[in-house]
Each structure stands twice: as structure tokens, then as C-alpha cells.
Amino acid sequence: MALTQAAKEAIWVSRFLAELQGNQVNSQDPSDDFDTKTRIYIDNQDSITLDHNPEFHAWTKHIVIQEHHVREKVTSGEIELVYLHTGDMIADCLTKNLRREKVARFRAEMGLH
């Protein structure tokens, strides 16, 4: 569910930035308008496997059609899911209690001083 929401937001931001740069976004097939894929870093390998291989029916029979949105966007080439180890997830600094060293590292990686 979180991946679906993240994918929708990432696609919206990509399209918004493309429009700000003066690129027309084709409403019929927006994936044609993107030169590069939008990368989403995820630390759940099962989600990546599920979105690349729809054959895991036993796992997914409870998932509603709306959640297959990510698979469609991966297939169309609009987004790319990239595995990132949990310990390297920069956004954790905004959502979890971490040691001071990790917060300092993630803050530097985000460009915050």
C-alpha cells in the first residue's frame, strides 16, 4: 500500500517537473514523455519481486486491483524499483528514532546542515 502511494506521488512530481521545464505530457500515454525512469528506493525485496512477477497469485489474491498500479508503471517503464538496504534508507531519519551518528549521516546526505 505504501509503495502504491509513493509511486503515485513520484509520478505526479515527475510530470509536474516536466511541465515546469516546458515539456508536454501526453495524457494518452504519459510513459512516452519520460526519457528516464523515476527511481523508487525500497527496502522490501518481496514487493519488488511481486511487482516484477505477477505469478505469485497465492500471495496476491487479497490485493485489490488498485494496488496493481505499481506493476503497470514498472512494466510501462515509468518507474523503476531499486532495492536499498534498510540501514541505508535516508528517509528513516524523518520517520524513526535513530542514533545520533545515523541522523548526522542521513542529514548530510539530504544536504541539510
pLDDT at position 105 is 92
Q: So where are the chain's domains?
A: 2-110
pLDDT at position 72 is 86
- The answer to whether 6 touches 49, Cβ cutoff 8 Å, is no
Residue of 90, 73, 65 lying closest to 8 (CA atoms): 73
pLDDT digits (tens, 9 = 90+) for 1-55: 788 888 899 999 988 988 898 876 665 555 555 556 888 888 888 777 777 666 6
pLDDT digits (tens, 9 = 90+) for 82-112: 898 888 888 888 888 899 999 999 999 999 8
Amino acid at position 81, single letter: L
Residue with cell 512516452: 32
pLDDT at position 3 is 85
Report pTM.
Answer: 0.68
Residue 30's φ and ψ, nearest 5 degrees, are -65, -20
pLDDT digits (tens, 9 = 90+) for 45-96: 877 777 766 665 565 666 666 667 888 888 888 889 889 888 888 888 888 8
Residue of 106, 99, 87 lying closest to 43 (CA atoms): 87
